[in-house]
Amino acid sequence: MPASRRGSGSFTLTTGQTIAIHTRTQDEEDLPHATKKTMADHLRKYESLFTLTPQRMRMIVEAFTETLELGLNKPNQIVPMIPTYVFGWPTGQEKGDFLALDLGGTNLRVCLVTLQGDGKFEISQTKYRLTEEQKQDDGQKLFDFCAECLHTFVETNTGEGAGQLKPGQSLPLGFTFSYPCSQERIDHGELIRWTKGFGAGNTEGRDVAEMFKKSLEKYQLPIKLTALINDTTGTLIASHYVNPKTKIAVIFGTGCNAAYMENVKNITKIEHLGIDPGAEMAINCEWGAFDSFEHEHLPRTKYDTVVDDTSNKPGEQAFEKLISGRYLGEILRLVLCELIDEGVLFLGQNTYKLEKPYCFDTAFLSLMESDPTDELLMVIGIFTHFFALETTLAERQFFRALAKLIGRRAARLSACGIAAIVSKMNYLDEGCSVGADGSLYNKYPGFADRVHEGLQDIFGDKGRNIVTYHAEDGSGVGSAIIAAMTKHRKDAGLYLNV
Ligand code: GLC
């Protein structure tokens, strides 16, 4: 009898699907598999492709810092460094009921947030799933769907807040729209380009706040769009609300981006607006676009080039495509496909399931890396359950090592982005907290440690002064705080400028 082992477990994919797997291994194989030595040789090759030396990281940081400066000085740059019209930090005393709508990447979320002051809040929320069709269909229809969900939410949440509205009264809404929008004021935003695989028509180049207001009117909702924000800006403000040491916020999710607080005097491209140079304003960097089109600074492998070429936006979001959850699984899948084509992996097996683009979820990388068993039972489960493929231990160890290389590169590149803001703002000596959120940061094992290790490789021991931590919910709570700050400014007659 061949020795056989069993394993079982369950996990949730980024698509929200929960999967239970039961696996059983068999030692005796009649399929031809790559030897341990072959896998080790291949691994060495990938190690050299995906590894970033500290020296290379410092070069990236230098170019990144210059790019950030350029975006502040000149309009319409690749990394647009978007002024958000969020002026300064919250006091922590913001209070009241606010609605927040979050259109991020995977879901649509509606929240009712009650800010209680002293950095405290309560939140109730509902998530709605977005279909692939909705992401590609007409933009106005997408906003109509948002308004419809808001309508359902307000109707059903007749308890605190929404239910207590007096006739003629409206609830302020913060709309977290997490795509690059150039803003002239806080309740305005022209979509520069879709990112994260979205492609809804008739939206790029248009004011999405206006489009959304049109949808709100259709449903005659007692809601007033007070602020249009990015998830990074929301995260920055929400994190500072509870942890005033926070100076930078980063999202590591379907997309990757950062925001920080800048001195208005340094945003020279908006000098003509006459805003008090002594004021502070949050900047949405849209750093995912770093090195787009020219590809001069980032170490792209041929797999990254394929991911880019076959995306709906070739050339764009070059930095994001090396880091974010939307792409890491696909990068690993492309390496496996190459080894299949070379006749190294899965000889004699039908690999069609693995040949489908984007079928390898980034959650699989997390799961492979966190598999605690010697046999790598989780890896067996993934390959048999999802791809109907038999694997040997040597192959599974290789897959896991590959996941580690790709995940580690993503974390180290992220460290380069953080280091660029830290250098630009001179935060290294005094140190700062970086509020971070998103599935990659929250669920990928060791991601934060690798970012920290990267910061030390760049800055030496002082890199320890820069610490990331799990941020507050920026798209919900942050959005509400910004709506509250904006309302306060409006009531004080300070709508556009300081
Ligand atoms: C993409 C978007 C950006 C967002 C990020 C994280 O990079 O362009 O606006 O902040 O994803 O969601």
**Arithmetic mean of pLDDT, 55-80:** 98
pLDDT band at 491 (very low <50, low <70, confident <90, very high): confident
**Arithmetic mean of pLDDT, 308-319:** 97
Q: Is 41 a catalytic residue?
A: no
> Of 62-66, 120-124, 153-157, which has the strongest mean pLDDT?
62-66
pLDDT of residue 199: 93
pTM, two decimals, is 0.92
- Quote the DSSP letter at residue 201: B
Give the number of other CB atoms < 10 A from CB of residue 422: 27
Tens of pLDDT along 321-370? 999 999 999 999 999 999 999 999 999 999 999 999 999 999 999 999 99
pLDDT band at 220 (very low <50, low <70, confident <90, very high): confident
* Residue keyed to tokens 């306060």: 488
Q: Is residue 16 pLDDT above 70, yes or no?
A: no
**Arithmetic mean of pLDDT, 307-320:** 97
> What is the average pLDDT score of the chain?
92
pLDDT of residue 9: 60
Tens of pLDDT along 433-483? 999 999 999 999 999 999 999 999 999 999 999 999 999 899 999 999 999
pLDDT of residue 162: 47
pLDDT band at 164 (very low <50, low <70, confident <90, very high): low
184-193 exposure pattern, b = at least 16 Cβ within 10 A, e = fewer: eebbbbbbbb
Tens of pLDDT along 29-57? 578 888 899 999 999 999 999 999 999 99
Q: CA 283 to CA 180: how far, in whole Å?
A: 12
User: How many A from CA of 285 to the centre of ligand 1?
Assistant: 10
pLDDT of residue 252: 97
Nearest CA to ligand 1 atom 3: 179
* Closest ligand 1 atom to Cα of 287: 7
* Closest ligand 1 atom to Cα of 251: 6
Contacts for 368-372 with beta carbons within 8 Å, 24 or more apart? 368/399, 368/400, 368/403, 369/400, 369/403, 369/404, 369/407, 369/444, 369/445, 369/446, 370/445, 371/400
**Is the minimum distance from the CB of 151 to ligand 1 under 6 angstroms?**
no
Q: Is 231 a catalytic residue?
A: yes
| Helix (H/G/I), strand (E/B), else coil: 230 | coil
pLDDT of residue 368: 98
Which residue is catalytic, options 193, 333, 408, 489? 193
**Is the minimum distance from the CB of 84 to ligand 1 under 6 angstroms?**
no
